[in-house]
Amino acid sequence: MKKVLSYYYIPTGIFLLLALLDYTNTESQNLLMTIAGALAIGLFAGVVFHLVTKVMKKISN
């Protein structure tokens, strides 16, 4: 379970870090949308990465 969750935590953390480092606006609504967008993209990247690794394991066997 820990190995599976790392597929989702790592990309989400990277996208959150990149989004917040580039954040220059002071409005709270923009901050919430930045965080929501980074979470969505990070989770999507995690799903894609997880599926690719599962397919590659099946192909290699």
For residue 54, which phi and psi values (nearest 5 degrees)?
-65, -45
Is the pLDDT at 35 greater than 80? The verdict is: yes
Percentage of residues of the chain with pLDDT beyond 70: 97
Model confidence band, residue 2 (pLDDT cutoffs 50, 70, 90): low
**What is the model's pTM?**
0.79
What pLDDT score was predicted for residue 1?
58
- Residue ranges covered by each domain of the chain: 30-61
User: Comparing C-alpha atoms, which of 50, 52, 1 is closest to residue 60?
Assistant: 52
Structural tokens at position 54: 């599962």
